[in-house]
Amino acid sequence: MCGIAGTYLWPDGKTVTDRLTETLAHRGPDGAGRYGHPVGDGEVQLGHRRLSIIDLSETGAQPMAKDSLVLTYNGELYNAPELRAELEAAGVRFRGTSDTEVLLEAWRRWGTDCLPRLRGMFAFGVFDERTGELVLVRDQLGIKPLFLLRRDGGLAFASELKALAAATGGKLEVDHAALVASLLYYWVPDSRCAFREAEKLPPGSWLRIRPDGQVQRGRFWNLKDVAAEGQARARAGERPDLAAIVEESTRKHLLADVPVATFLSGGLDSSWLTALAARHQPGISAYTIGFRAEDARFEAMPDDLRYARQVAERFGVELHEIEIAPNVLDLLPQMTYSLDEPIGDPAAINTFLICQAAREAGVKVMLSGMGADELFAGYRKHLANLLALRYQRVPGPVRRGVSGVVDRLPVATSRRGLRSVRFAKRFLSFADLPEETAFRRSYTMYDQDELLALVDPDLAGTVDDVLTEHADAYEDNTLDDFVNRMCLADARMFLPGLNLTYTDRSSMAASTEVRVPYVDVEVVKAAFAVPGDRKIVKRQGKAVLKEAATSILPREIVYRPKGLFSAPLRAWMSRDLAPLVREVVNDGELVRSGFLRRDALNRMVAVDAAGQQDFSKHLWHVLTLEYWYRDATSRSDQSTRQTA
């Protein structure tokens, strides 16, 4: 795992690439390298920051140049041993044992045809000295990031957006449409970027730029096609052996020359991975989190620690418990900077603190259970949307009566949050809506009218565009299975846009690599070969995965109530962050610029304080957006003053 950067036909490319690479130092504290070569009337410059995981010697250093090909690469190839054996049988001679060299030689032999064969997480740039062409590639599911910027026939790229912002002297213009999208989702979708000129290379795609500045794009993997193929396999009667597939993926994800540990929340996904990891690597350690007792009580959070302890004891795992009682006033701006774009999920803080503790203990690699919920319908929203179909058959007068009663209920008392009431209010906000709209409303922050009331009236057209984009993405499939349509939308939007993004940035801010065995191409293929009625059975989400996990886990763990990898936001907002909320709502940069409307924010604060609605998540995201906006605009202002 590393940080990569580079320029192609870019003015002062060497200096700019050095600046890009230095900004990414946290991603690779173990080494740095740069390569340059003339291209036409300009040059290519490739930079690299190394976090040494496999082949810790200099033979694994990057950028790696070998026989006219040069590679700068971020990621891990879990099928590198198999590819290496095939290449060696074809006569390839290797200098070291790194997967970097395997990737370089696979590219030499097969070119873009090697890409569907890669099993792992990766973003890389490969330069051919003979043709002068640079190709950029991003993995099938968007686990690893790659940002790029094109100007006047040239190109700059980096693992993080902040690097491109730094390399251009802060002269990037904020894209207000991306900020509107971030308000809706509480993250910026992978299809958009917070700065106008920049873009994200889409998952499963490549980009080739030639010495004449011409650009060609291609796709080597499309999740929509994988889902359609899975549906056909299911209709043919295929039943994937999920227990074997998940175990094989976990085993491959343990490949490393440094210590590996796991996240262990005590829930199904992390518990299964930890148990499998302990089977193949006895004595492995795990990290779990808890919260201050008063915060957990106020939030009505389940006691996950006891389940984590039970799993650790059963499988001989050394468990490290971390109490999350952060100084959020200090961490908020730090995390906003680390996350690159405005992301309002407080789970990013949990990830950072766990990875920081692991790194201090000498652990560089962590396994996470992320992805299982998206692929196997494990979120409450999946079940809730199914229940909504039944709820719509209830007579209208009864539904209106239920809504009236629930609307009057408080979501919290002075000492305790009322979780069931929060869920009920959330459910009724979308239960009567059509499929795509209901699904969007079940996990986004605002409905259309609320979003229009919150932002500058001139952005009404932008709001329409953002909502249309969701509808287009949701409906772009040939599936006739409602549950798998939701899973496909999550795997294409929610997973790369939020969960994989905050995991990458938070972990790399602590110079730690997080691997996600459920987000593996073979697991994904198997997931979409499972019909929706086997994913949600009665009121049990992830039913097929739970059935598979019982081969190793006790039923108490498999069928325990679902926990949340989140944070006690209501407690934080009502105590630690209350003064900051008042400041941002009344005199923040977003309000003063006109992007957010003060009256709408004040109404939100008042309703939340009265306990009638839970707007803690909304207000937390406003804080993250405010800090991000301040940083982005201050860089631009400084640049303007310097060039004036």
- For residues 30-46, one letter each, b for 16 or more C-beta atoms within 10 angstroms of the residue's C-beta and e for the rest, the string is ebbbbbbeebeebbbbb
Q: How far apart are CA 227 and CA 234, in angstroms?
A: 10
CB-based contact 143:124 (threshold 8 Å) = no
User: Strand 260-263's sheet: what is its strand order?
Assistant: 318-324, 285-291, 260-263, 365-367, 513-515
CB-based contact 289:349 (threshold 8 Å) = no
Tokens of 39: 């291209």
Q: With the C-alpha atoms ordered 328, 506, 249, 521, is the resulting torsion angle positive or negative?
A: positive
311 burial (CB, 10 Å; 0-12 / 13-18 / 19+) is buried
Give CA torsion, residues 520, 338, 443, 219, to 10 deg: -40
Nearest to residue 621, comparing CAs of 330, 336, 295, 328?
A: 336
Positions annotated as catalytic residues are 2
Q: How far apart are CA 169 and CA 147, in angstroms?
A: 16
3-state secondary structure of 74: strand
Residues 6+ apart with CB under 8 A from 393: none
Q: How far apart are CA 239 and CA 256, in angstroms?
A: 32
Q: How far apart are CA 191 and CA 489, in angstroms?
A: 13
Query: What is the β-pairing status of strands 205-209 and 215-219?
Result: antiparallel
Query: What is the β-pairing status of strands 260-263 and 365-367?
Result: parallel
Q: How far apart are CA 348 and CA 502, in angstroms?
A: 6
566 annotated as belonging to a binding site for a ligand: no
Terminal Cα-to-Cα distance of the chain (whole angstroms): 40
Helix and strand numbers (H, E) in the chain are 30, 17
99 annotated as belonging to a binding site for a ligand: yes
CA atoms within 13 A on the CB side of 557: 31
Nearest to residue 327, comparing CAs of 624, 572, 584?
A: 572
Q: How far apart are CA 235 and CA 109, in angstroms?
A: 37
Nearest to residue 56, comparing CAs of 26, 103, 99, 10?
A: 99
289 annotated as belonging to a binding site for a ligand: yes
420 annotated as belonging to a binding site for a ligand: no
> Annotated binding site for L-glutamine: which residue ranges?
99
> Annotated binding site for ATP: which residue ranges?
289, 368-369
> Annotated binding site: which residue ranges?
99, 289, 368-369
